[in-house]
Chains A and B, each alone.
Chain A
Amino acid sequence: RKEVEQDPGPFNVPEGATVAFNCTYSNSASQSFFWYRQDCRKEPKLLMSVYSSGNEDGRFTAQLNRASQYISLLIRDSKLSDSATYLCVVLSGGSYIPTFGRGTSLIVHP
Chain B
Amino acid sequence: DAEITQSPRHKITETGRQVTLACHQTWNHNNMFWYRQDLGHGLRLLHYSYGVQDTNKGEVSDGYSVSRSNTEDLPLTLESAASSQTSVYFCASSESQGGETQYFGPGTRLLVL
Contact = CB atoms under 8 A, between A and B. Distances in A.
Nearest to A99: B45
Contacts, number: 42
Given A42-B106, A43-B90, A96-B31, A102 B100 contact: no
Interface stretch (B11-19, B35-43, B63-71, B75-83): B35-43
B94 interface: yes
B5 to A, nearest CB: 11
Interface residues of B, number: 21
Contacts of A11: none
Given A43-B105, A96-B31, A96-B50, A102 B40 contact: yes
Contact of A34 (B48, B101, B104): B101
A62 interface: no
Contacts of B42: 87, 100-103
Interface string A55-77: 00000000000000000000000
B28 interface: no
Interface in A30-86: 32, 34, 41-46, 49
What's the dominant secondary structure at chain A's contact region? loop
A97 B45 CA distance: 9
A91 interface: yes
Contacts of B107: 41-43
Interface of B: 31, 33, 40-43, 45, 48, 50, 58, 90, 94, 96, 99-102, 104-107
Interface of A: 32, 34, 41-46, 49, 87, 91, 96-98, 100-103
